[in-house]
Amino acid sequence: MNPLEHRLRRWLRLYPIDQREEILGVLLATAGPGRERPSPRDAADLVGGAVRVRLNREIRSLSSPIWRDAFAVLSLVTTLLLFTGVIDLLRDYNGHYSLVQPPPAPVWPMWAPWIIVAVLSVRGLRRTAAGLAWAAALSQLPWLAVSAGGSAFEAPFVYDHLFWFGLAVIAAAALSVSDGLRRALPLLGRWRVAALAIGVGGFAYVVTGIGQRPPRGSVVALNLTEQAPLDPRWLFTLAPTVLIIAAVVRLRTAYGRRAAAVLVPSLAPLLCSLTLWLAPPDAPAVVIVDFRLIGPVAVVLLIGATAVSHVRERRRSTS
């Protein structure tokens, strides 16, 4: 194996296995004599081609069982995180300080249905669970519309609540295109489910308030629209978040890699809040908020494309 072939094979690892040898043959046949490495332009073309090939394959495989499993795992995580609204109402820690992400709005109809959604999904009633999930998610729209007296989207606490609204929409969409919790639980196994439950419980406990007021003059809350001085207690939110992601991400499996690809953007507002203190003090927070909402919106659009792919597959099978 000459040096050029060796280096080309390293670049071709970006491509699917079934295409590597064909592309390698073409590149070696067109390479000039005496070349030992691909030019920067050739390397850029290889990377761009690999991205296009991978994206085309993923788009065509959106209706495959692998993506259904990934969305099932996503539905499990987001549904459990939405239990935070119920926990917040039960704890009744009004006036206590929360860390990083403010708790959900204390409105029972927004959060109580998610317990029923989880039970229905575990029982295998997929359509009923998805329908109730959409009803629960969309029930937040009236609150968002009137909570600030007609100018809700200019209110900081409404921006803070968009994280929870996004989670609800993602959970409902993921339940609509997958087998939901009934499939996700056996996929993860008992130990990963236990770790996920611990992570969600810790996250809910921290977000709904640690039950202890900070020293006078210190600022703990690090919301989506404000910057606060670094307080070591924000690390209490980081640990459960890392545990949640580690519990469900299985990079050695095809569905696990795709689950990571949709879970991390879904939690983008929370993950960015954990690092918001790194931004310069004069950075406009609203711009950062708008940027962080791109992740959840992209996931919803991907799930929408998956639903369209499912419809096309059904039409082809019936025609």
Average pLDDT for residues 237-251, to the nearest whole number?
Answer: 84
- Name the pLDDT band for 37 (thresholds 50, 70, 90): confident
Residue 278 or residue 144, greater confidence: 144
The per-residue pLDDT for 109 is: 78
Rounded CA-CA distance 208/254 in Å is: 35
Exposure string (b/e) for 55-67, b if CB count within 10 Å is 16 or more?
eeeeeeebbbebb
The per-residue pLDDT for 286 is: 45
Query: In angstroms, how far is CA 229 from the centroid of its own chain?
Result: 27
For the chain, which residues make up each domain, given as ranges? Answer: 66-318
Least confident span in 53-62, 113-122, 218-227, 309-318? 218-227
* For residue 306, pLDDT beyond 50: yes
pTM: 0.74
Residue 287 or residue 168, greater confidence: 168
Q: What is the pLDDT of residues 182-236, one digit of tens each?
A: 999 999 989 999 999 998 888 887 776 654 444 433 333 334 344 444 445 556 6
Percent of the chain with pLDDT over 90: 17
Average pLDDT for residues 9-23, to the nearest whole number?
Answer: 83
- Name the pLDDT band for 305 (thresholds 50, 70, 90): confident
Rounded CA-CA distance 239/114 in Å is: 24
Task: Identify the residue whose tokens are 């954990």.
Answer: 274
- Name the pLDDT band for 149 (thresholds 50, 70, 90): low
Instruction: State which of 61-75, 177-191, 297-311 shows the largest mean pLDDT.
Output: 177-191
Average pLDDT for residues 3-16, to the nearest whole number?
Answer: 82
Q: In terms of Cα–Cα distance, which of 286, 309, 275, 26 is closest to 162?
A: 286
Average pLDDT for residues 121-150, to the nearest whole number?
Answer: 83
Cα within 13 Å of Cα(74), Cβ side? 36
The per-residue pLDDT for 309 is: 74
Least confident span in 151-165, 193-207, 231-245? 151-165
Least confident span in 18-22, 66-70, 163-167, 208-212? 208-212
* For residue 158, pLDDT beyond 90: no
The per-residue pLDDT of the chain, averaged, comes to 75
The per-residue pLDDT for 100 is: 52
Average pLDDT for residues 126-139, to the nearest whole number?
Answer: 91
Q: What is the pLDDT of residues 221-237, one digit of tens each?
A: 334 344 444 445 556 67
The per-residue pLDDT for 121 is: 94
Helix (H, G, I), strand (E, B) or coil at 269: helix
Rounded CA-CA distance 127/173 in Å is: 11
